[in-house]
Structure 1
C-alpha cells in the first residue's frame, strides 16, 4: 500500500498542473494597443505576466526601452522587455483571476486588477482604482 502513495501523489500533482496549464488565461497576449506582448503563466500558486516583446523595443538613442517612469528611482534603468507587468493574481474560478496587480510602465502606476476570458477568445484585463475600473481587451498572440 505504501508504494502506491508516491504514485498517487505524482498523479495528483500532474493533474493539478495540467488543469492550470489548460486555463484560458495562460499564454501570450497582445496588449490592446498592439504595442507589446505579455506572457501569462503560473508563478508559484499565483499568476504573473511578463513583457516578452515590444513593437518599439529601442528608445530614440537606439537603447532598449527602460522603465523610466517607475516611482522607485533604483528601478528606472531596468529594461521594459522582461518586466513583470501583472502579478499576484489568485484563481477565483477556471479562467477568472482576481486580487492581482497590473503595472503601467508608461506612467509608473500600479493598479488593482482582474483577468477573465471573453467568449470570443480575447482576454478582459481590468485595472481599478478604488471602485472605478477600466477594462482593456487583449488578443491572443500568434
Structure 2
C-alpha cells in the first residue's frame, strides 16, 4: 500500500510539472508582413520575445528615443518583455516597436495553436491596435 501511494504521488507530481511547463505560446512566430520573426521564451515566471530574424538584418534601431542605442541592430532585440500568463492570454507586458522607437503596453492572446493576437496600446486596451502572428512550423 505504501509503495502504491509513493508511485501515485510521483506520477501526480510529474504531471503537475509537465502541465506547468507546457506553455503553448513558446516558440517561433512571424508577423503579418513577413518582415520579422520572433521567438517567445520564458525566464522565470515571465514571458519574453526576441526578434531573431528580420528581412534587412543590417537595419539599425535608428528611431530609439535613447540616442546611445540607435546604432544597435534590430535583429536580436528583445521586443516583448515581462508578460504573465492569465488563462489563454499573456498580460501586463510591453512591446517595443523598432519602426517607431516606441514602447507600448501589450497583451497577447492565443487563437488556437497557430495564431497569436498581439494588442499594443496606450493607457487602456481600447486605444490600441491588434495584429495576428502565425506560428512558424
- TM-score bracket, normalised by the shorter chain, equals 0.7 to 0.9
- Alignment correspondent of 2:136: 141
Instruction: Please state how far the C-alpha of 1:65 moved relative to its aligned partner.
Output: 1.2
- Structure 1 segments (4+ residues) deviating >2 Å: 11-16, 18-22
Calculate the aligned-residue CA RMSD, in Å: 2.2
What does 1:46-65 align with in structure 2 at a 5 Å threshold?
Answer: 46-57=46-57, 64-65=58-59
CA contact (8 A) 1:25 1:115 kept: no
Q: Which runs of 5+ in 2 are unaligned?
A: 1-8
What TM-score results when the alignment is normalised by the length of structure 2? Answer: 0.82
Report the secondary structure of 2:60's partner residue. Answer: coil
- Alignment correspondent of 2:38: 38
Q: Which runs of 5+ in 1 are unaligned?
A: 1-7, 58-63
Q: Distance in 2 between matches of 1:20 and 1:110?
A: 29
Change (3 A) 1:54 1:14: farther
Instruction: Please state how far the C-alpha of 1:22 moved relative to its aligned partner.
Output: 2.2
What TM-score results when the alignment is normalised by the length of structure 1? Answer: 0.79
Equivalent residue pairs, number: 126
